[in-house]
Amino acid sequence: MIAVSLRHFYPERWDGIGSDFSIRQHAEDVVALIEQLELGKVHLVGHSRGGAVAVELAKLRPQVIRTLVLPDGSITMPVADTADATEAAAFSITLLGTLQENLKRGDPTRAAEVFVDMLSVPGAWRTLPEPVQEMILANINTGLAGTDRPLTSCADVKKFDFPIMLLTGEKSPPRFEFFFNEMRKCKEIPASIVIPNAGHLMQRANPKAFNKAVLAFVSAH
């Protein structure tokens, strides 16, 4: 297994200034890594913003993907103007807007706490081990630049010719499942695996269930 540290992420402490931090840039970086290491086709797992990177990579280089696994992948698609779509958009705007406001006030710890709690459940930040909190704080300024989410069209999804696994936490914000359902309108994709007793940080809240589900899927392909 290779856990990729994308540019300007932990362990780097980035100030949020620069033009080389984007979903597209990170997707190109991961493609370059796969090709440099001559890995062939890979099982690509992208959580949260990493899901947006993984989907962008799938659009750029589908030939390097064996399977695509998206735990609460932060995907954005053009959708009809419905109440659910409005709710999904409002959540993203509030989440990122609140994060940036707290960062601009010079309170990174408060920014991290509110961000994590909004994505999971109230009090989630305080339950995280200190090393995990430190990693999040090291990354927190990426919130000043990391709001871009390239649109993924139905035509893009239809071209994905590899198995796809979608996961969400029992307590995750509905925004993620909303866009998963939009993907299913374009292509037959199995129902999302719901990780019980977990929110957005499902791999930490319920690692046993998360690992079992992902490893079973990967092993099957």
Residue among 68, 71, 60 at smallest CA distance from 42: 68
pLDDT digits (tens, 9 = 90+) for 85-126: 899 889 988 998 999 999 999 999 999 999 999 998 889 999
pLDDT digits (tens, 9 = 90+) for 8-63: 988 888 877 778 889 999 999 999 999 999 999 999 999 999 999 999 999 999 99
pLDDT band (50, 70, 90) for residue 139: confident
Alpha helices per DSSP H over the chain? 23-36, 49-60, 83-104, 108-119, 124-127, 130-139, 154-158, 174-184, 202-205, 207-220
Backbone angles phi and psi of 139, in degrees to 5: -95, -10
List, in order of start, the domains of the chain with CATH numbers. 23-220 (3.40.50.1820)
pLDDT exceeds cutoff 90 at 143: no
Residue among 197, 189, 89 at smallest CA distance from 147: 89
Mean of the per-residue pLDDT values of the chain: 93
Could you give the CA distance from residue 21 to residue 15 in angstroms, rounded to a whole number?
11
